[in-house]
Amino acid sequence: EVQLVESGGGIVQPGGSLRLSCAASGFTFSDYWMHWVRQAPGKGLVWVSRINSDGSGAVYADSVKGRFTVSRDNAKTTLYLQMNTLRAEDTAVYYCARASHYYMDVWGKGATVTVSS
C-alpha cells in the first residue's frame, strides 16, 4: 500500500524551530518529486515547497523562503521539512504529498504545528 506518514509536529514558541518528517512506503521513493502543503486552522490549502527526486533542487513559497528547508533521504525513504524562525502564522497542519507530473496524487494524514508563546 502506498503510504505517507508525517511526524514531528508539536507546539513551539515564536522564533523557534521544528523539523517535520514524512516516511514513505509502498512505492519507489527515489523516483518521485515530493511536496509540502499546509493548512491553517479553518483555512484553505497552501503550497509550501517541492523537492526533486534526488534532492538536488527545491523551490519554496515566498512566505517561507529563507526560513524553511526541504530535504530528503532516499535511503531512508523519508522527506523532511526544517522550519526555522517560526511565526504564529505558520500554525497549520502540514501535509506531505507525492508529486506525479504536475499534481499531487498521494497525501499523508498531516502533522500539526502550533506556534504560540
Q: Which residues of this protein are in contact with another protein, per CB under 8 A?
A: 35, 37, 44-47, 50, 59-62, 95, 97, 100-105, 107-110
Judged by CB, which is closer to another protein: 15, or 40? 40
The DSSP output letter for 67 is T
- Which set of grid coordinates corresponds to residue 23? 516516511
Residue with Cβ nearer another protein (19 or 109)? 109
Q: Which is nearer to another protein, 16 or 39 (CB)?
A: 39
CB of 27 to another protein, least distance (A): 15
Extended beta strands in the chain, E state: 3-7, 10-12, 18-25, 34-39, 45-51, 58-60, 68-73, 78-83, 92-100, 103-107, 111-115
Report in angstroms how near the CB of residue 106 gets to another protein at its nearest. 8
Which set of grid coordinates corresponds to residue 52?
526533486
Q: 84 or 112, CB closer to another protein? A: 112
Contact of 84 with 68, CB cutoff 8 Å: yes
Minimum CB separation of residue 60 from another protein in Å reads: 8
